[in-house]
Amino acid sequence: NSPAQLAWTTISGGSGSRPTVTTDSSGANATINNPAASDLEDIYLVDNGANAVTITLPTVASNSGYKVQVKRLGTANVTISRAGTATIDDGSSTTTVLTVQYSSLTLCTDGIDWYII
């Protein structure tokens, strides 16, 4: 009686793709574009040097389930702001700040507000 052998198969289904990685070294305020309907996740690297900047998140409408990661590479603060009337986490915050170099924040939306995860 010989032992069973492991067989590799290709998993089917799913339509996800790798996240888009954007490096912004402009040192200026910026808005993350609304994602395509098929985009599940984006990574936004902010190489802002010594310039404090504000990064505005995409709108939440029609983006339920979308996740974005923002990472601060520069030495100055990066403020993360919401678009429109959405809030961040607690129902009243409109911004959050990355105060430590190389810190990051991951947020997702339920189509109404942004939540830090």
- Residue with the larger pLDDT of the pair 71 and 35: 71
- Amino acid 17: pLDDT: 75
What tokens appear for 113 in the block? 């507000």
107 burial level (CB within 10 Å; 0-12, 13-18, 19+) = buried
Q: Which amino acid is at 70?
A: V
Q: Is the pLDDT of residue 14 over 60?
A: no
Residue 10 pLDDT exceeds 60: no
Determine how many CB atoms are found less than 10 A away from the CB of residue 78.
26
pLDDT attached to residue 92: 87
User: Quick one: pLDDT at residue 72?
Assistant: 98
What lies within 8 Å, CB to CB, of 76 at 6+ separation is: 48, 49, 50, 51, 52, 53
Q: Which tens digit of pLDDT belongs to each residue from 57-67?
A: 999 999 999 99
Give residue-wise pLDDT tens across range 16-58.
678 999 999 999 999 999 998 888 999 999 999 999 999 999 9
pTM of the model: 0.83
pLDDT given at position 38: 84
